[in-house]
Structure 1
Amino acid sequence: MKSRLLDQAGDHVKPVMRWGINHALPRAVLRVAARTGDLQGRMAIEATTNTDLTGLFEDIRSRGPVATTRIGHITTSHATVKDILTSDAFQAARLRPGNGLLGRLATWSATDQLHPAQPPSLLVSEPPEHTRYRKLVTRVFTARSVEQLRQRTQDIADELLDSLDPSEPVDLLDAYCGLLPVTVISEILGVPPEERATVLALGEAAAPSLDLGLSWKTFRTVESTLAAFDSWLSRHLDTLRANPGDNLLSKLIAAREDGVGLTERELKATAGLVLAAGFETTVNLLGNGIALLARHPDQLRTLHEQPELWSNTVEEVLRFDPPVLLTGRMCVRDTEIRGVTIRRGALVTTVLAGANRDPEIFDDPSVFDVSRANARDHVSFSAGRHYCLGASLAKMEGEIGLRAIFQRFPDLRLLPGAHRRSTRILRGFERLPVALG
């Protein structure tokens, strides 16, 4: 009886403890740091406020290739970001319990629930495990496979646009930007049409899971959503095992590297990440791109005259307003980057959006230019071993999705009420009302 009561008490206390250690405490530290002008603290807080971060990017850049802060290091230098992301002296940053009291409490309160920012997720795994996962996924997620999806993606975009009433205002996040990528990735992964709305809702609700410093309410929503997603994914994988099809997940279930496949936990972590990342970042790419082009009619005129620039336009959208703001790395051994010594255990924030505005790489970096010759030099999909597996799919969907809507509705204009997400890592719109014209 006493043991059962202790277990029940632990079930209530552990979530509070997880939130306190992983979110409440870091949020308090970041807020204090931001008030003192600390650059990493400012980035963490200002990124959630819908403010223009260009000035902050320049403040960081003015401190040299790597700015040292009370929290760690931060950089908006394009060259430095690439150095860090491709170096084996740095690994994907994730919360690791220490040996002190907080570490012991973190271990006690930890959950075995799958999380995109915890192993065996591809986002934070490192070699040799990461190498094995990536080989298996790459084998069934090739550029050729993506190219074969081009016509189907065009058909889906046309069907969605056919359903829109040009005489009525519409929120494109709900009616187009979300539905196009979730339909494509669902077909890739063998998700039946009747379950796609569930997948979209689960993905949207879990989007803040990559952030640090969540409120208690958001934290609880994320945990319950990840649990629901885990249950749904288990059922879906069981269905595919019983009835395998010509889809990525069926192939991933059967895939073997040197005779070894993925364990159930590895399979679910990989499949869940591919599913969520396969549409969440593309939703942002489409929304950000539509907003940018609607606000730059001169660039739309250029595209009307030179339609061959649509592919490059996607690269410029990714450079100018990327779907992912930043990524963190942990230094695993004392090293030197661009003349700056970084000690083992230090956290380094690589600001992808800031690197995309580096004037040493891009002329007039604050200008949106669909004909920019080196737009593809952005780092919006990261670099090195963690370069985004779905980059080619996202670019293809972005090109077709943006071209299709502006060719169908060339007079599209933004309406009041557009609102960006408050998430810190993923950057995009939550609402995007437009008049189609």
Structure 2
Amino acid sequence: MTLQYWLRWLSLQGVPRVVLRVQSRRGDTFARMLGPEGIADPHPYLEKLRAQGTLVKTPLPWVTCDHAVVRTVLRDNRFGVRSSARIEIPELLQKFANRVPPPANPADPPAMLRMNPPEHTAMRRPVVSAFTPRAIQKLRNRVETVTEELLDAMPANGSVDMVEAFASRVPIAIIFEMLGLPPEDQEKFLFWGEEMTPMLDVGISWRAYDRAMRAAQQLNDYLDGHIERLRRAPGEDILSAMITGGDLDHYALKANTSIIIGAGFETTANLIGHAVTLLLSHPEQLDRLRAEPELWPNAVEEVLRYEPPVFITARSALTDLELEGIQLPQGAMIMLSLAGANRDPAVFDDPHRFDVARPNANQHLAFSSGVHACFGANLARMEAGHALRALFERFPDMRSAAPPRLRRQLTFRGYEHMPVQLGRSAHATRSAAG
């Protein structure tokens, strides 16, 4: 990549990376949570922050793990998303960052993730209609077909990587259909997604940023051709609707397509991965689901509460304001721990216990709230609910073959590898008996 891109990394990631390392050595809890030990197990750090109060000023941003405060900030129009680094950086470096427009990607404007109303509202409108409950219900048959095809391809009594073979495959097949993309290109998107998601973290290395930018450029080049094909012959997919709507320029179309992929794919893949690991490590909960299959929808909500696919997000004060009795100036940044809010003992009894029958599991904030609430939430719930039940019914003896390995990132928290031993296939057993 060019010198300008290195300077962009330095301004947006390199400086925050140094600040975080310095603060971590000084014992700052928030900075340590963003380091290797915190990424491996962030919950002890969240509890230390919770013990310090509902709104905690760190040497970096304000931080909250409080359910009520997180929900309030997400819904309060006095707060908005940030379009630049999430840690203050020198003005000169900010100018370098702004001089070099990156390839269209989910981490930079004009992607919806980095835009506030009214621009955000206009961008979101043509997309959300594809994710309504009625639209999701129409996709159910396709989800069931994809799930069965994937399960049929798994070797009974064999071993698979559950992330590669299942957790990522169900949602990528559906989002491809929704975007009018050819199925044979799924491998490219899985690779690009893996390379690009670290951009949503703070203080990533130059090597990770370089890989992410290269993947973003490859995705841009691909989408250039795909968008032009849809301009000539639009279909009934989301992207065609965005193109024919005429509200977004070419760059914005690409940026928001990457957001749709993230909302429709990344969250669901992480959700399925977390669910498989949690159920295999809590066999008594899996036994209860087998005895009471009507609990499966609630089990999905409990997984979302216990290990949300998106761990943390941020908001910035758009004006001088007061929050929790504290005066915040315009521009003040608050890191909102969705995972911390989901284990708030003021809302959830015994919050560190995984319980598929928890009566208020759906009070979690895993899909955010307010204007930036995840529009892929209904799709993720439907896909995960069907896929997980079908998986555990097909392979009732499935067990972990080796410890699963998490990605080394915090914002999109999910598994990189998950080796499992499938055991017997109930489907094959029933066929033989028949």
Deviation (angstroms), 1:136? 1.7
Displacement of 1:367 = 0.4
**TM-score, with structure 1 as normaliser:** 0.93
Following TM superposition, by how much is the alpha carbon of 1:346 offset from its aligned partner in structure 2, in angstroms?
1.5
Moved more, 366-375 or 195-204: 195-204
Q: What CA distance in whole angstroms lies between the structure 1 residues aligned with 2:172 and 2:297?
A: 21
- Give yes or no for contact 2:7–2:93 (8 Å, CA) kept in 1: no
Matched, 1:354 2:340: yes
2:291 equivalent in structure 1: 305
Secondary structure at 2:114's aligned position in 1? coil
Secondary structure in 1 aligned to 2:113? coil
Partner of 1:7: none
Q: Say whether 1:271 aligns with 2:257.
A: yes
Per-residue CA distance 1:107-137 (angstroms, 9 max, x = gap)? 34x2242121211111110111001111121
- Find the counterpart in structure 1 of residue 22 from structure 2: 32
User: d(CA) in 2 for partners of 1:53 and 1:303?
Assistant: 28
1:57 aligns with one of 43, 46, 61: 46
1:47 is displaced (CA, Å) by 6.6
Distance 2:95 2:250 in 1: 28
Q: What do you get for the CA RMSD once the two structures are aligned?
A: 1.7
Matches within 5 A, 1:79-228: 79-95=68-84, 100-108=91-99, 110-228=100-218
C-alpha distance in structure 2 between counterparts of 1:142 and 1:270, whole Å: 18
- For residues 381 and 41 of structure 1, what CA distance do their matches in structure 2 show? 24
Letter in 1 for 2:167: C
Does the Cα contact within 8 Å between 1:83 and 1:337 map onto a contact in 2?
no
Cα distance change, pair 233–124 in 1 and its aligned pair in 2 (3 A): same
SS at match of 2:131: coil
Whether 1:399 and 2:388 are equivalent positions in the alignment is no
1:99 Cα deviation after fit: 8.0
C-alpha distance in structure 1 between counterparts of 2:290 and 2:74, whole Å: 37
* Superposed displacement of residue 335, structure 1: 1.4
Q: Compute the TM-score of the two structures, normalised by the length of structure 2.
A: 0.93
Q: Give, in whole Å, the separation in 1 of the partners of 2:39 and 2:311.
A: 13
1:184-234 CA-to-partner distances (Å, cap 9, x unmatched) read 111111111211221222112211121121112111100000000111111
Percent identity of equivalent pairs: 39
Partner residue in 1 for 2:428: none
Q: 1 CA distance for matches of 2:373 and 2:281?
A: 30
Provide the secondary structure at the position in 2 that maps to 1:140. Answer: helix
Picking from 230, 233, 248, the partner of 1:243 is 233
CA distance in 2, matches of 1:104, 1:119: 16
User: Which of 232-241 and 73-82 deviates more?
Assistant: 232-241
Counting only pairs closer than 5 Å after superposition, residues 253-272 of structure 1 correspond to structure 2 as 253-255=243-245, 261-272=247-258
Give the Cα separation in 2 of the matches to 1:313 and 1:363: 16
Measured in 2, the distance between the counterparts of 1:196 and 1:339 equals 50
Q: Which residues of structure 1 form unaligned runs of 5+?
A: 1-10
Q: Deviations over 1:309-365 (max 9, x none)?
A: 111111000000111110011112221212222222222100000100000000010
**2:191 alignment partner AA:** A
177 and 99 in structure 1: CA distance in 2 versus 1, 3 angstrom threshold: closer
List 4+ stretches of structure 1 deviating above 4 A. 96-99
- The answer as to 2:325 corresponding to 1:339 is yes
Where does structure 2 lack aligned partners over 5 or more consecutive residues?
Answer: 424-434
1:415 maps to 2:395:
no
Aligned mate of 2:282, from 284, 290, 296? 296
**Does the aligned pair in 2 maintain the 1:284–1:427 contact within 8 Å?**
yes
Residue deviations 1:162-203 (CA, integer Å, cap 9, x gap) = 000022211011111111110011111111121122122211
Cα deviation, residue 292, structure 1: 0.3
